Structure 1
């Protein structure tokens, strides 16, 4: 028995070692719990609260016509994930941070095994050095992916592996491949990445059918089956887009793309070298250098690394497409076709991390084969890259820049104190937040007039604008930000810009906040909570009630009441 265990360990030592390192990477979530530092942007300030609100709303199974009264006097149910979203169920069954920890664990291990299987079966199938494929897969799995995406980006290698298996094996494809294929949609986002993935698979299938006269039925079933599941999962979004004529999304006023040629080129260079905040590949030092060196080494040795060159060429192409999607030259076409404004076709750049690490693996193989001492050199380079990304785990990264922990960000005890001070049922009044994200108040059970959502009624965007019009007039940047996008219906301050994190250690104040408290009152607004003192609160019709802080929260909250409410 012990001998068989030993043999098993020897056979799979690199996979087991990688899983151990990945477990260490995830360990802070399990040991620190809510005291873990995690990402704020598009995470603490949005998705986590959306899932929590949905889980507690009593509208989990409601149709697209239902609304959640907690947000903007009635946030459409269709603005939140459907009941077919697997992550949403985690928030129904578990406490928010526990649900978040499990989704992170799923994301990391799916990324590792997906990349490992893709490399070993299809990219470098004849390669026998397990440390290289396991190491590249481990580095990929530890990338600072957008946390709330789960398999949206991290699961792309797994999806490619599954489809290539089905294409190759046809009717002989094992049942567990099919099962995994149909689980992926419930843990990923169709609009952000998999619409592009399925489009690529569809073109691949069509080219084979036309070119080779081979109608690959299992491959077709995989494409159409996954697409059908995504359509089912997103039925509410599709209903509001194509059937419900009574709902007009704020996205109808999107006008993304006003960069001049120089601005677009700068964005291209930045994206190619650094990536996007949601899909950072951490490639601009070791990975990029290794790929370029490997190409020259191979050519110098008389080879032409076709697969590596073609894959590598895709990275600047994707960056160029991403950058020029925001070029002003598109404006005539975008202004005439609504879909080009409401749907972001640039998001195909989410394929970048997968492509960079496929290239990295191919480049390391060349170094091992073509360079004297290449095994040791490749091992050191791979180890260095793994160390680079390991240090970017959320606890390490965000504790270093001193953003709040999960518990600190939402500061439940502090907001419970505010709620008790007000002494009214939260459903009987509405609040807005200043110098802080409104999701903090939403998490704590307050009913807010401000929000951050992917979609909400255009009519409400216009009504909310009346409250903040004075501040927008003072700042062309904020005015453009709200009028051409508006996903963040925030109470902006021209003095603060797009900054929403101000701790109790800040000595900053808001000298002149120009908001329309009459318009605020008309929407039901009764209280304003601010992370900074509002010096002119009396001039704009606000009465300071109380200031709240405690030893456990990073916030110092100033509570104001609207005088004419």
Structure 2
């Protein structure tokens, strides 16, 4: 009977709900849909390559990850002292991703439940509300590859509030020390530290004194981030191993100018959020706040506290929405702001919205209204979780043609055929030659053990960007869309085609043909390139200095690939490309 009783608790129900949420992944396994954009196309590749090439903990200035960009400095990538890297070191990429996601969502659910029960919904009658909110939190459309950066924030806030209010336990110090081991500093570290410091300053300004335990907790969090992110800080600040391409960031070229654009972006941040930090409609939360004020529920002081939190969210939305315009004004005088994105304060807003909802529910009278609001919020998160929805479609046998499952997208058998063809023709293994990709992300080739000159990276040497640019200069000269996309940003250091634009997912069913590919084969060869793998057929490859070496297709895969080789020897740029390149270099 005690076991049955425990299974009937609200928390057990929430855990069962999470299990049902994860069930499609378990059933589909290699046919699971994995979020593609900024996830499968890049993030899964990094821990896989760090562990496969045994450089996860190799922080020497000379260490490189050979398959990326002709040997990307190891210290340009995420730290190896990470639970995420550990999981990928133990398992193959897809099992690692699915296991990692399950752990992150489970810890997220438990973290928010404990936080709510300890600080925001402590009454015994509020356990169901806390459990339901915890489940809604755990199923959000979050990038779990970032570890606990988003869904794990309740643990960090719990430890901080315990240290601030007391009595603190050793577990609170342990959470502060452990959080950097499973989170991304650039997404959450500085912003969580700034938020904690601001709250302590507010306490001091209101005459509550200084919570020195909380100060110590923030100091411990900072110290642990310095330890975990040692390769980043050492390479950029101490050894100055390379100058980052981020120094050329110019967000003003990538966003619409003017007050109207900033206002539209502000509304998106406030009502929807940003997709990296979990995008979900805030309607249920706002309805709960309206209900509190409409019913005059709770004390005036409690309602003012709710209003203050909403005010913070409004200020953050305005700051993030107008951030590009702000940066345009100061970036010449403060170059550091080009490389470090201060608008990432929005990574803290999903949790703050949940706290606003919890406080609203606490003030509202008990009844169906409270559970209806939580249910609406839960359904909102589920309905916007495209990864989960696409897996339901996969189970139903009705997948979207443009959203392939993992095996169809990564296509190991298809890429294996390409390697086999090259091996037959040259006797060489992938490490002996370099490729670049057109019409699909290089990260997919990297997951299939190719060594690529192109890649999607948040941080890489600016010198490499300048050496890569001549290869694509002809295509950028033809496209006002692509030129600033590379020159003013450049995280996607890709082969571009003005005819394909930003279509980096050219499926076999599209039958795309590039009529004129202004590709500088000589510059490509100077950088070490030999093959171009393309998801679109080139109508005239010889004009681009290329020759066809194979065509590859297979059932149930997303791609139809064409293999092109640089014509040896290359004495100069193909006809028509050199002038285009000069035009692009000197617009």
User: TM-score, normalized by length of structure 1?
Assistant: 0.93
Match among 503, 522, 526 for residue 499 of structure 1 = 503
Q: Does residue 1:394 correspond to 2:387, yes or no?
A: yes
Quote the Cα distance in structure 2 between the aligned partners of 1:543 and 1:472. 23
Q: Does residue 1:57 correspond to 2:53, yes or no?
A: yes
Match among 136, 139, 143 for residue 142 of structure 1 = 139
Match among 425, 432, 440 for residue 428 of structure 1 = 432
1:100 deviates by 1.1
Does the 8 Å CA contact 1:36/1:395 hold for their aligned counterparts?
no
1:381 deviates by 3.0
Quote the Cα distance in structure 1 between the aligned partners of 2:241 and 2:144. 34
> 1:517-536 alignment to 2 at 5 Å?
517-536=521-540
1:253 deviates by 0.8
Q: Are the structure 2 counterparts of residues 505 and 104 from structure 1 closer, same or farther at C-alpha, using a change threshold of 3 Å? A: same
Match among 192, 203, 208 for residue 197 of structure 1 = 192
Per-residue CA shift, 1:197-224, capped at 9, x if unaligned?
1122233335546765845443222111
1:44 deviates by 0.4
Per-residue CA shift, 1:183-240, capped at 9, x if unaligned?
2111101111121111222333355467658454432221111111111111111012
Does the 8 Å CA contact 2:533/2:562 hold for their aligned counterparts?
yes
The farther-off stretch of 383-392 and 418-427 is: 383-392
Hey, what does 1:557 align to over in structure 2? Answer: 561
Quote the Cα distance in structure 1 between the aligned partners of 2:201 and 2:237. 27
Does the 8 Å CA contact 1:325/1:346 hold for their aligned counterparts?
yes
Does the 8 Å CA contact 1:298/1:366 hold for their aligned counterparts?
no
Match among 6, 19, 43 for residue 23 of structure 1 = 19
Hey, what does 2:223 align to over in structure 1? Answer: 228
Does the 8 Å CA contact 1:64/1:240 hold for their aligned counterparts?
no
The farther-off stretch of 389-398 and 55-64 is: 389-398
1:301 deviates by 10
Quote the Cα distance in structure 2 between the aligned partners of 1:282 and 1:363. 18
Match among 445, 461, 464 for residue 457 of structure 1 = 461
> 1:409-428 alignment to 2 at 5 Å?
409-423=409-423, 424-428=428-432
> 1:71-470 alignment to 2 at 5 Å?
71-126=68-123, 128-170=125-167, 173-206=168-201, 208=203, 212=207, 214-258=209-253, 259-298=257-296, 305-327=303-325, 329-367=326-364, 369=365, 375-391=367-383, 392=385, 394-397=387-390, 399=393, 401-402=400-401, 403-423=403-423, 424-470=428-474
User: TM-score, normalized by length of structure 2?
Assistant: 0.89
The farther-off stretch of 505-514 and 542-551 is: 505-514
- The RMSD of aligned alpha carbons is 2.2
1:54 deviates by 0.6
Q: Does residue 1:8 correspond to 2:9, yes or no?
A: no
Does the 8 Å CA contact 1:451/1:490 hold for their aligned counterparts?
yes
Match among 29, 33, 55 for residue 33 of structure 1 = 29
Hey, what does 1:548 align to over in structure 2? Answer: 552
Hey, what does 1:479 align to over in structure 2? Answer: 483
Q: Are the structure 2 counterparts of residues 304 and 41 from structure 1 closer, same or farther at C-alpha, using a change threshold of 3 Å? A: same
Does the 8 Å CA contact 2:440/2:504 hold for their aligned counterparts?
yes
Per-residue CA shift, 1:11-48, capped at 9, x if unaligned?
xx111000100111112232222210010111101110
1:275 deviates by 1.5
Q: SS of 1:545's equivalent?
A: strand
Q: Which runs of 5+ in 2 are unaligned?
A: 394-398, 570-587
Per-residue CA shift, 1:73-129, capped at 9, x if unaligned?
110001222221121111111111222122212221222122222222222334622
Does the 8 Å CA contact 1:521/1:564 hold for their aligned counterparts?
no
Quote the Cα distance in structure 2 between the aligned partners of 1:26 and 1:504. 30
Does the 8 Å CA contact 1:64/1:239 hold for their aligned counterparts?
no
1:165 deviates by 1.1
Quote the Cα distance in structure 2 between the aligned partners of 1:6 and 1:71. 53
The farther-off stretch of 532-541 and 15-24 is: 532-541
Does the 8 Å CA contact 1:255/1:484 hold for their aligned counterparts?
yes
Q: SS of 1:538's equivalent?
A: helix
Q: Which runs of 5+ in 1 are unaligned?
A: none
